């Protein structure tokens, strides 16, 4: 009987270890998400709204999961350099200029992207700073 | 049982009293600078009267390139503000909040809105028209005013008491305050609300009927 309890305990410890190892990445993602949310409130919410709902046909909502997925590699450039072209979001056309947020660091941008792509119905997982740095090199 | 009619009468009076005390109306304050003038009466005596600050005559172009002036707002209460279409800071949130009020009073012809652009270089009427359309404003209830730099900046600072200025160091190159000003039918300022604060704008929505009630008698 004692042996069973012991082996069960060992097994439990090992599973816990494996489980916590797996979630290290998850913890990092959660950190990015939380920081991204704070940055969103400070830097994006004014125009894009509390619920990322945008403003009529002037400012696009940031809740179009398909747009976010399709243009994931462009998000960093849009945030950093602003936008001055027509885009289709939620099947609606938007053509107002978006101001550049050039003072944001790559890590800030990564955090904002993690927040946007993991809220409002999106669940795209982690996006790290290196990916943002690579994206920014390819900006038009 | 004999006194039943008397009791009913008493009850009726009591109810009337209660209702009367409840309907004590609230009046909005009057803002702005004040002056006094001496009024001479017919009998030769004189007394001192208060002169409240009022919005002076103005003429601007609206989003349809049509001239608008004080007569456009005759017998209306209106909400005035200052903004510009390429504004990256407080304007979107101001107009997001104000849009809700606009929707709420869509069926009320006594209420209007007047947004002045302070970007006299870029925000010409056709830009304002595009902006209005994209904001979802398609009628004459919400006027977007374009005018000469001095006209707009003077009326902002001297009459609506909103600070506006050009500043090339600022993103978007203009700075201004986000006040929404409620003007009554006599051109007097009756409310000042922070357009970036959704609670304050909610209060504006509640104050408009209060103001309109003053004219109901």
**For residue A135, what pLDDT band results from cuts at 50, 70 and 90?**
very high
Q: Which domain holds residue B196?
A: 54-213
Has residue B31 been placed in a domain?
A: no
Q: What is the pLDDT of residue B171?
A: 66
Percent of chain B with pLDDT over 90: 65
Please name the residues between 160 and 199 in chain B that touch chain A, using a CB distance below 8 Å: 171-172
Residue A113: its pLDDT value, please? 97
pLDDT over 70, % of chain B: 92
Q: Which residues of B touch A96 (CB under 8 A)?
A: 134
Is the pLDDT score of B22 beyond 60?
no
SS3 assignment for A66-112: HHHHHCHHHHHHHHHHCECCCEEECCEEECCCECCCCCCCHHHHHHH
On whether residue B92 sits in a domain, the answer given is yes
B17 domain residue, yes or no:
no
C-alpha to C-alpha distance for B154 and B149, rounded to whole angstroms = 8
Judge whether A131 and A86 are in contact, CB under 8 Å. Answer: no
A55 chain-B contacts, CB cut-off 8 A = 92, 95-96, 99, 135
**What is the chain B residue with the closest CA to A57?**
B134
Which domains does chain A show, CATH number per domain?
Answer: 25-137 (1.10.760.10)
Judge whether B179 lies within some domain.
yes
Can you give the pLDDT at residue B160? 92
Tens of pLDDT, residue by residue over A11-36, are: 888 888 777 766 788 999 999 999 99
| Reported confidence tier of residue B165, pLDDT bands at 50, 70, 90 | confident
So what's the pLDDT on residue B166? 84
Q: Going by C-beta distance under 8 Å and a sequence separation of 6 or more, which residues neighbour residue A105? A: none
Map residue B135 onto helix, strand or coil. Answer: helix
Instruction: Identify whether B58 is part of a domain.
Output: yes
On whether residue B8 sits in a domain, the answer given is no
The domain that contains B123 carries what CATH number? 3.40.30.10
Does B209 reside within a domain? yes
Query: For B74-126, what is each residue's pLDDT tens digit?
Result: 999 999 999 999 887 788 999 999 999 999 999 999 999 999 999 999 999 99
- Rounded Cα gap, residues B132 and A26, in angstroms: 44
B98 in contact with A, Cβ within 8 Å: no
Distances (CA, A) of B75 to B72, B109, B199: 9, 10, 27
Considering only residues 45 to 84 of chain B, which have any Cβ-Cβ distance to chain A shorter than 8 Å?
none
Task: Determine whether B114 is exposed, middle or buried from the number of CB atoms within 10 Å of its CB (0-12, 13-18, 19+).
Answer: buried
Domain count of the fold of chain B:
1
């Amino acid at each position: 009987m004692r042996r069973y309890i012991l082996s069960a305990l060992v097994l439990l410890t090992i599973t816990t270890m494996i489980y916590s190892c797996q979630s290290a990445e998850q913890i990092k993602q959660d950190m990015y998400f939380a920081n991204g949310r704070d940055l969103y409130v400070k830097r994006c919410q004014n125009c894009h709204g509390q619920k990322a709902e945008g403003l009529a046909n002037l400012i696009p909502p940031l809740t179009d999961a398909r747009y976010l997925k399709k243009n994931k590699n462009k998000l960093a450039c849009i945030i950093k350099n602003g936008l001055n072209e027509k885009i289709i979001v939620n099947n609606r056309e938007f053509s107002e200029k978006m101001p550049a947020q050039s003072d944001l660091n790559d890590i800030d941008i990564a955090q904002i992207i993690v927040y946007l792509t993991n809220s409002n119905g999106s669940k795209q997982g982690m996006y790290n700073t290196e990916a943002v740095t690579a994206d920014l090199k390819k900006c038009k | 049982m004999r006194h039943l009619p008397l009791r009913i009468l008493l009850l009726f009076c009591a109810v009337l009293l209660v209702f009367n005390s409840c309907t004590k109306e609230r009046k909005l304050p009057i803002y702005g600078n004040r002056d006094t003038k001496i009024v001479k009466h017919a009998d030769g005596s004189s007394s001192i009267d208060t002169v409240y600050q009022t919005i002076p005559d103005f003429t601007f172009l609206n989003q349809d390139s049509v001239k608008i002036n004080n007569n456009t707002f005759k017998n209306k209460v209106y909400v005035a503000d200052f903004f510009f279409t390429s504004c990256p800071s407080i304007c979107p949130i101001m107009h997001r909040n104000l849009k809700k009020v606009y929707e709420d009073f869509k069926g009320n012809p006594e209420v209007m809105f007047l947004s002045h652009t302070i970007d006299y270089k870029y925000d010409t009427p056709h830009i304002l028209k595009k902006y209005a359309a994209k904001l979802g404003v398609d009628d004459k209830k919400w006027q977007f005013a374009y005018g000469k730099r001095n006209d707009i900046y003077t009326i902002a600072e001297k009459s609506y008491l909103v600070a506006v200025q050009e500043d090339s160091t600022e993103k978007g190159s203009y700075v201004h305050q986000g006040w929404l000003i409620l003007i009554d039918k006599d051109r007097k300022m009756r409310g000042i609300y922070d357009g970036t604060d959704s609670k304050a704008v909610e209060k504006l929505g509640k104050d408009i009927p209060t103001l309109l009630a003053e004219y109901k008698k």
